[in-house]
């Protein structure tokens, strides 16, 4: 039905634009078609001769002028606002960039500071380690000093080569006859040993220190307030090659040679390669203090 009705009329020609490519249409039809349409309509209305754009157009009046001005003013506002916006955004972006650069530089400076701190701390660590090593060696040195002092003072056990002396009263000795060993004899012998170069001396196992007394109480000799019974054994650490001979050259040695010869008192010496002497445990100083301390 409709086919028949429409079939009588030829189909309208397709618009020429549809044959052209999109790009060529873009390039050719750049002007709004409305201008031509309105112009052709106006020329048809006013007559065959086309007029100027606003010459005899009855619609050209203040209202349309106002429309143009409004549109152009709006365009100007758009341009101005865009320019202002761009000008506003640019300093902001620049400021942000400068701020970022500033932050980066600050971070790098901080990193440099931290590196400096790190190297300083490492140097400090090395210095402290050296100090500690020095302190450790000083401490061990002090310990050695203390050891030496204790050995000299007689409070520390010592070992080394030396000589052993066996002393005994004469047989069948009676008091007053001179066959008994006196405290002064022992004192003379010990002094002779010190002179001969003995470094540590013990009598019957009692180490002699600066405070050790050798006295006579009753019938017995006391060393460090402890009574000893004959025979007495005196041990002395020193050079075993020179100690016996040098002892005999001292007054004490001569005395004892005389005692042996005149009264039959036993006086035997022999060298030992190893003698061990215990330290004197009773060496607490109750009153003496180092000078300079309280």
Partner 1 sequence: MIAIIGLLIGVLAGLFLEPTVPLALQPYLPIAVVAALDAVFGGVRAHFDGIFDDKVFVISFFSNVLIAALIVYLGDQLGVGGQLSTGVVVVLGIRIFSNVAAIRRHVFHA
Q: Which residues bind partner 1 (CB under 8 A)?
A: 26-27, 30-32, 34-36, 38-39, 42, 50, 52-54, 59-60, 64-65, 67-85
Shortest Å distance, C-beta 26 to partner 1:
5
Q: Helix, strand or coil for residue 268?
A: strand
Contact call for residues 151 and 159 (beta carbons, < 8 A): no
Q: Cis (ω within 30 of 0) for the bond into 45? A: no
By C-beta, is 81 or 217 nearer to partner 1?
Answer: 81
- Tokens describing residue 283: 């060496």
**CB 100 → partner 1: shortest distance, Å?**
23
Smallest distance, partner 1 to C-beta of residue 63, A: 9
By beta-carbon proximity to partner 1, the closer residue of 67 and 116 is 67
Separation CA 232–CA 202 (nearest Å): 10
Name the strands in the sheet holding 214-217, side by side, starting at the edge strand that comes first in the sequence. Answer: 214-217, 220-223, 226-228
Phi then psi for 202, rounded to 5 degrees? -135, 145
Q: Rounded distance, CA 277 to CA 41, Å? A: 143
Smaller CB separation from partner 1, 3 or 30: 30
- Looking at the Cβ atoms of 8 and 52, the one nearer to partner 1 is 52
Nearer to partner 1, 73 or 129 (CB): 73
Long-range own/partner contacts, residues 118-123 (CB < 8 A, 24 or more apart): none
Minimal distance, residue 44 CB to partner 1, in Å: 13
Q: How far is the CB of 66 from partner 1 (least distance, A)?
A: 9
């Amino acid at each position: 039905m409709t086919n028949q009705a429409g079939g009588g009329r030829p189909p309208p020609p397709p618009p020429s634009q549809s044959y052209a490519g999109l790009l060529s249409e873009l390039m050719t039809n750049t002007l709004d078609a409305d201008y031509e349409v309105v112009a052709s309509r106006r020329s048809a209305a006013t007559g065959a001769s086309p007029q100027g754009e606003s010459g005899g157009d009855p619609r050209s009046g203040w209202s349309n002028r106002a429309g143009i001005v409004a549109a152009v003013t709006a365009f100007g506002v758009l341009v101005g606002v865009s320019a202002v916006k761009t000008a506003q955004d640019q300093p902001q972006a620049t400021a942000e960039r400068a701020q970022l650069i500033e932050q980066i530089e600050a971070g790098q400076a901080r990193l440099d500071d931290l590196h400096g701190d790190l190297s300083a701390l490492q140097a400090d660590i090395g210095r402290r380690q050296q100090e500690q090593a020095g302190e450790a060696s000083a401490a061990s040195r002090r310990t050695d000093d203390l050891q030496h002092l204790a050995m000299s003072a007689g409070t520390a056990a010592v070992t080394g080569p030396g000589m052993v002396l066996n002393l005994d009263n004469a047989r069948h000795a009676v008091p007053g006859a001179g066959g008994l060993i006196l405290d002064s004899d022992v004192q003379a012998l010990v002094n002779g040993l010190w002179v001969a170069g003995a470094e540590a001396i013990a009598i019957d196992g009692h180490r002699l220190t600066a405070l050790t007394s050798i006295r006579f109480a009753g019938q017995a000799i006391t060393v460090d307030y402890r009574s000893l019974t004959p025979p007495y054994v005196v041990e002395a650490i020193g050079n075993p090659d020179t100690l016996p001979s040098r002892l005999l050259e001292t007054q004490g040695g001569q005395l004892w040679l005389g005692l042996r010869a005149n009264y039959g008192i036993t006086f035997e010496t022999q060298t030992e390669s190893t003698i061990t002497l215990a330290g004197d445990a009773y060496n607490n100083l109750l009153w003496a203090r180092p000078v300079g301390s309280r």
